[in-house]
Amino acid sequence: MSAAPDIRARAATSEDVLVEVKGLKKHFPVTQGLFVQRVIGQVKAVDGVSFTIRRGETLGLVGESGCGKTTTGRCILQLERPTAGEIVFDGVNLEKLSEKELSPLRRKIQVIFQDPYSSLNPRMKVGEIIGEPMKVHGVQPDPGKRQQRVAELLSVCGLNPKFADRYPHEMSGGQRQRVGIARALSLDPEFIICDEAVSALDVSIQAQVINLLEDLREQFGLTYLFIAHDLSVVHHLCNRVAVMYLGKVVELAESDELFDNPLHPYTQALLSAVPIPDPTIEKTRAHQTLQGEVPSPMKPPSGCVFHPRCPMAVESCKAGIPELIEKRPGHWVACTEVS
Amino acid sequence: MSTPEIAVDSAELVPPKRSLAEQLWSLCRRQPLGAAGGLVVVAMIAMAVFANVISPYDPEANSFEHMLSPPGADFWLGTDQFGRDIMTRIIYGARTALFVGFTAAVVGATAGLVLGVASAYFGGKFDLFFQRVMDVFMAFPLIIMALAVVAILGPGTQNVIIAITLPFIPQCARVVRSSALSIREIPYVDAARALGYGHARIILRHMAPNVVAPYLIMLTSFVGQAILLEASLSYLGLGVQEPTPAWGLMLQGGAEEYAESAPWVPVFPGLAITLAVFGFNLFGDALRDLLDPKLRSR
């Protein structure tokens, strides 16, 4: 895993890189024992992930449940301190900062959570939820102006400014998610992590929130890391997409390139699972169903983590860990069998 | 939750407001015992607040003409060995009981709330260490702990409050901590951290208000316990000192010598203590049922 990120890093610096994740690892210890806790293993939630996000770009991060995409997001947000690796934001290595030094930088990195019901404090009014960050960071110390700004943010997010006096439980899921977005915008961030931001919403509301996210990207020049498992949403919204499997990035490419021309066998299986909204094509299409279960991240398979389920696996896959290599311009694949 | 997106006028969504009297009435019907407890609580507070208006005599004035008179027209509940009217002293005693009870319960429960939430929020080694310290405190029975504190600080109302408050803190901290542990995993706490809020703000503004239900339940049960503890300490001569009217003190003065010859001296303060503690406990139970969404019928 050492050579590939370096080459990529060099290639990327020529462009305007906002976020750079280098060799990120997050292992959670598993302990056993009633009195004396022994560490009996490590859950390797994220195991050597590297990618860059350019300014103004939307990077999609996809993969099935438990593949480490949310943990990656939490590490970038510094909600979890990584086991190893670096996260460089706008030239600053976040891993070297203390909690105090981190505080001003937190303004620039914000998050929108999956569940609009639990991501808002039920005891606070919407106006307080959106206004509080500005108060804490001293962006808008004057209460009157802050209220004005809250109203502004609400209407930017497609909500009636009167909603400032409501409690979250008086609103629908879609409305709450808009409040979550308004809160994320309140500090004028540069980078927003959307952690399954639309997965918990109805399909019709999903579309509205996606449009809102797109509008905001234009309006405020935002950069997104869009974590999702809904591939059609990712295809629509993202410039580039990274596919994760069991804590590793297996493929990374421009969105259209990845969807038209997936190279990694896992990506191919993943894309074949997306239904096509045309019954005649859907009926005749050959589905590539993966056999077996996702292995435990506590005991990942040797070599390529995908080899037990891979239709293309050969003997050598059990031994060597494939590196993420640029097989085509801008198209990175971690598979030795792909040429 | 099926309302269409964007700006529905707020009026339709808010349930129709019922008047306070209507709400109170429906509450009484659902929780008759709790309402009875609430009545005792309210009556006690009224007694304490208006003691000087409603009580017929001076609580501290001795009268040698009326020593140990039995209950009658002049002295409804009789007089004690110094000729002081027992009803007056019970009414004034409510002041002492409530002052000690509320102060100890509020301070103890609030300190426990903050410490319990902080312990859950920081977690790890801090949590482990803090919980073991709490274990040490909880290893002592409530009354022994309070006795030890009074023995160190000496008797007197203020010290009694401290003595009663201290053993409450770990009790509340433990209960609150377990609720706060589940709150910590909820995304709005993550959101607060991602927004760069300080620890104090997250603990006090974001976590503490969401563990208010166990806190309130602990608080009401603490008031009852504190009244009982204060009476016990006063009874043992370690609490409130004469001539301040306090129920435990009255019980002590009466129980030893006059249990047979003048039973009204110990019986009425004893009844007052029983009723007050019972009332607060009923009220606390009803509150727990009301605040527990699983038991709430809507």
Question: To the nearest 10°, the Cα dihedral for A86, A87, A92, A95?
Answer: -60
Residue ranges of domains in chain A: 1-104+226-303
What are A101-149's pLDDT values in tens digits?
888 889 999 999 999 889 999 889 999 999 999 999 988 889 999 999 9
Smallest CA–CA distance, residue B188 to chain A, in Å, is: 4
Q: Which pLDDT does position B21 carry in this prediction? A: 79
Our CA-based measurement puts residue B5 at a distance from the nearest CA of chain A, in whole angstroms, of 7
Residue A86: predicted pLDDT? 92
Among residues A61, A73, A10, the alpha carbon closest in space to that of A258 is found at A61
* CA of B28 vs chain A CAs: smallest distance (Å): 26
Give the residue from chain B lying closest to A164, CA to CA: B10
Tell me the CATH number for domain A1-104+226-303: 3.40.50.300
Burial letters B126-136, b for 16+ CB under 10 A, else e: ebeebeeebee
pLDDT band at B188; cut points 50, 70, 90: very high
CA of B287 to nearest chain A CA: how many angstroms apart?
Answer: 19
Q: Does B198 touch chain A (CB under 8 A)?
A: yes
Which pLDDT score is estimated for B12?
47
Chosen from B2, B195, B197, B206 to mutate, greatest number of chain A CBs within 10 A: B195
Average pLDDT, chain B: 85
pLDDT score of B11: 45
Instruction: Write the CA distances from A317 to A4, A252, A305, A314, integer angstroms.
Output: 18, 20, 9, 6
CA distance A335 to A322: 5
Report pLDDT for A14.
Answer: 46
pLDDT in tens, A267-303: 998 888 888 778 888 787 777 778 778 888 888 888 8
Query: How far off is chain B from A247, nearest CA to CA, in Å?
Result: 22
Provide the shortest C-alpha distance from residue A240 to chain B (in Å). Answer: 25
B chain contacts of residue A81, beta-carbon cutoff 8 Å: none
Decide if pLDDT at A7 tops 50. Answer: no
Tell which wins on pLDDT, B49 or A279: B49
Is A1's pLDDT higher than 70? Answer: no
CA distances from B28 to A231, B25, B35, B38, B288 (A): 55, 5, 5, 10, 15
Backbone angles phi, psi at B40, to 5 degrees: -60, -45
**B171 exposed, middle or buried (CB, 10 Å; 0-12, 13-18, 19+)?**
buried
If you measure CA to CA, which chain A residue comes closest to B186?
A118
CA atoms of B249 and B239, how far apart (whole Å): 8
Q: Is B104 exposed, middle or buried (0-12, 13-18, 19+ CB in 10 A)?
A: buried
Nearest CB partner across the interface for A160, out of B7, B193, B205: B7
pLDDT confidence bin for B61, thresholds 50/70/90: confident
pTM higher than 0.90, yes or no?
A: no
Q: What are phi and psi of B297, to 5 degrees?
A: -105, 125
Q: What is the rounded average pLDDT for all residues in chain A?
A: 87
Q: Kindly state the percentage of chain A with pLDDT values over 70.
A: 96
Give residue B243's Cα distance to chain centre: 24
- Closest Cα in chain B to A165: B10
Q: What integer pLDDT is reported at residue A21 of this predicted model?
A: 93
CA–CA dist B160, B226 (Å, integer): 10
The DSSP symbol for A317 reads G
The pLDDT score that the predictor gives to residue B216 is 87
- Residues 228-247 of chain B with CB under 8 A from chain A are none
From chain A, the residues in CB contact with B186 under 8 A are 118
**Is the pLDDT confidence value at A159 over 90?**
yes
Q: Is pLDDT above 90 for A177?
A: yes
More confident of the two residues A125 and B1: A125
Considering only the beta carbons, identify the residue of B10, B198, B206 that sits closest to A121: B206
DSSP strand pairing (A84-89 vs A92-93): antiparallel
Instruction: Return the structure tokens found at B22.
Output: 């209507």
Predicted confidence band at B295 (pLDDT cuts at 50, 70, 90)? low
Handedness of CA B153, B158, B161, B165 (dihedral sign): negative
Give the H or E element holding residue B295.
Answer: none
Q: Mean pLDDT throughout A59-71?
A: 90
All structural domains of chain B: 44-56+75-291 (1.10.3720.10)
Higher pLDDT, A11 or A278: A278
pLDDT higher at A56 or B28? A56
* Per-residue confidence (pLDDT) for residue B15, from 0 to 100: 54
> Is the model's pLDDT at B2 over the cut of 80?
no
H/E stretch holding A309 reads: none
Report whether pLDDT(A240) > 90: yes
The pLDDT assigned to A13 comes to 47
CA of A167: which chain B residue's CA is closest? B14
Strands A17-32 and A191-195: unpaired
C-alpha span between B84 and B78 (Å, rounded) = 9
Nearest-angstrom CA–CA distance, B108 and A92? 45
DSSP string, B115-166: HHHHHHHH-HHHHHHHHHHHHHHHHS-HHHHHHHHHHHH-SSHHHHHHHHHH
Confidence of residue B70 (pLDDT cuts 50, 70, 90): confident
Is pLDDT at A93 greater than 80 in this prediction?
yes
Take residue A26 and report the two structure tokens written for it.
Answer: 């997050």
Ramachandran category for residue A303: left, alpha or beta (phi over 0 → left; psi -120 to 50 → alpha): left
Query: Per the omega criterion (within 30 degrees of 0), is the bond before B243 cis?
Result: yes
Nearest Cα residue in chain B from A169: B1
Confidence tier at B7 by pLDDT (50, 70, 90): very low
Percent of chain A with pLDDT over 90: 49
Q: Does B129 reach chain A within 8 Å, measured CB to CB? A: no
Statement: residue B43 has pLDDT above 60: yes
Mean pLDDT to the nearest integer, B213-234 = 89
Cα–Cα distance, B231 to A318 (Å, whole number) = 76
Residues of A in contact with B206 (CB under 8 A): 121
B11 interfaces chain A, CB cutoff of 8 Å: no
Q: Is B188 on the interface with A (CB under 8 A)?
A: yes
What's the whole-number mean pLDDT along residues B217-226?
A: 89
Q: Could you tell me which residues come within 8 angstroms of residue A150 by beta carbon, excluding any fewer than 6 positions away?
A: A127, A130, A131, A161, A164, A182, A186
**Token reading at A300:** 């990942």
* Average pLDDT of the segment spanning A3-16: 48
Average pLDDT estimate for A218-230 = 92
Closest CA to A228 of A80, A60, A85, A96: A60
Query: How many residues are recorded in chain A?
Result: 339
Gyration radius from chain B CA atoms: 23
Is the pLDDT reported for residue A28 higher than 70? yes
Please answer whether residues A231 and A270 qualify as being in contact, where contact means their C-beta atoms are separated by less than 8 angstroms. Answer: yes
The residue with tokens 């943010």 is A153
Whole-number Å distance between alpha carbons of B62 and B64:
6
Pick from B196, B210, B212: which is nearest to A103 by CB?
B196
DSSP β-ladder status, A331-333 and A248-254: antiparallel
Q: Is the pLDDT of residue B177 over 90?
A: yes
> Inter-axis angle of helices B264-291 and B86-122, to 10 degrees?
30
In angstroms, how far is CA A47 from the centroid of its own chain? 15
Residue from B6, B9, B212, B291 to probe the interface with A (highest A Cβ count within 10 Å): B6
| Contacts by residues B262-267 (CB-CB < 8 Å, ≥ 24 positions apart) | B262/B68, B262/B70, B262/B78, B262/B81, B264/B70, B264/B71, B264/B77, B264/B78, B264/B86, B265/B68, B265/B78, B265/B80, B265/B81, B265/B86
